[in-house]
Amino acid sequence: MESTRKQLIELLNKKDGHISGQELSNQLNISRTAIWKHMNELKKDGYDIEAVQRKGYKILSSPDKMSENTLQWGLDTEWIGHQLFHYDQVESTQEIVHQMAKQGKPHGTVVIADEQVKGKGRMARKWDSPKGKGIWMSILLRPNLPPFKAPQLTLLAATVLAEMISERSALVPQIKWPNDLLIHHKKVSGILTEMQAEQDAIQYIVVGIGMNVNQNGEEIPEDIRHKASSLKNEAGEEWNIQETVQHILRLFERTYDQYESDGFEAIKANWEKHGYRIGEEVTISTMKRTWKATLVGIEPDGALCVRDRDGNHEKLYSAEIHW
């Protein structure tokens, strides 16, 4: 966000009472007319600002409605979300980020929408993204990694979402391989990672995060209600979507920075800590056979490692797991 605006909101929030236009103008080193213009912009963004003669200004309430300003305010990140674009309605945030990537937008660019009318899920499925009910967001990454390591970023994103839910609630999130977030065995979030790469270099990656946040039970499409849910539905209370988005972005940056400096080990351990049915025996089917095996963990290339009843280990890249 433009830094004067950010500082202005910070000053207004810091002060318990009112703060005069003169004091704001002194502290920010801008004219009182400029302060007045900023106040009008903030009001347009949904801030409720009280202006009292001879006392000054005070923020009575911040907007519930997401906007670029409200999302960026207080974000305090080094690189993620410095370029952040919010839309009321889009076809898919994923497609917008692909276009932005081609136009040269930087690592950490974020696109978020209140509603998607053509939300995309994995395997060409559609992703229901109703207005104001969830987080429909795509992040542009320009990692300096060989393409075979790209799945690690999807696994990383899943651990970020699990950590966020654990930190904000008493819910126990689990990650179902490869990257579905489950609460009480029902999917609340999914990740779609798309990569543009050359032979040995990633050009960019788009990490799409879809999270059902405030749908009530009956708002989940009927055909998937037995296996999908929302955070509100499971936690029993409404979630603040903006704060949840900010939490995800902060954690994403911290986890990504750690991954860059220390590698995949900590991500793997964290993924396995949250891994759904890790250590348990399940039935697995591929084109060739169906067998019983214990889920052991994940591999650095994103494969699922399983052990059959004879103790043989195998790496699976795609298989049907009978959860």
Positions touching ligand BTN (CB under 6 A) are 92-94, 116, 119-122, 125, 127, 129, 136-138, 180, 190-192, 208-210
CA distance linking residue 229 with residue 237, whole number of Å: 13
CA distance linking residue 58 with residue 48, whole number of Å: 9
Q: Find residue 135's DSSP bridge partners.
A: 211
Closest CB to ligand BTN among 36 and 323? 323
Closest CB to ligand BTN among 140 and 209? 209
CA distance linking residue 244 with residue 246, whole number of Å: 5
CB of 207 to ligand BTN, least distance (A): 9
Closest CA to 270 of 249, 251, 292, 286: 251
Contact in structure between 141 and 197 (CB atoms under 8 Å) = no
Closest CA to 81 of 90, 71, 96, 91: 71
Closest CB to ligand BTN among 56 and 208? 208
Closest CB to ligand BTN among 69 and 93? 93
Residue type, 293: A
Contact in structure between 112 and 210 (CB atoms under 8 Å) = no
Closest CB to ligand BTN among 221 and 279? 221
**Binding site for biotin: residue ranges?**
116, 187
CB of 228 to ligand BTN, least distance (A): 10
Closest CB to ligand BTN among 224 and 269? 224
Closest CB to ligand BTN among 127 and 276? 127
CB of 190 to ligand BTN, least distance (A): 2
CB of 227 to ligand BTN, least distance (A): 12
CB of 206 to ligand BTN, least distance (A): 8
CB of 136 to ligand BTN, least distance (A): 4
First to last CA, the chain: 44
CA distance linking residue 20 with residue 227, whole number of Å: 54
CB of 92 to ligand BTN, least distance (A): 3
Contact in structure between 140 and 107 (CB atoms under 8 Å) = yes
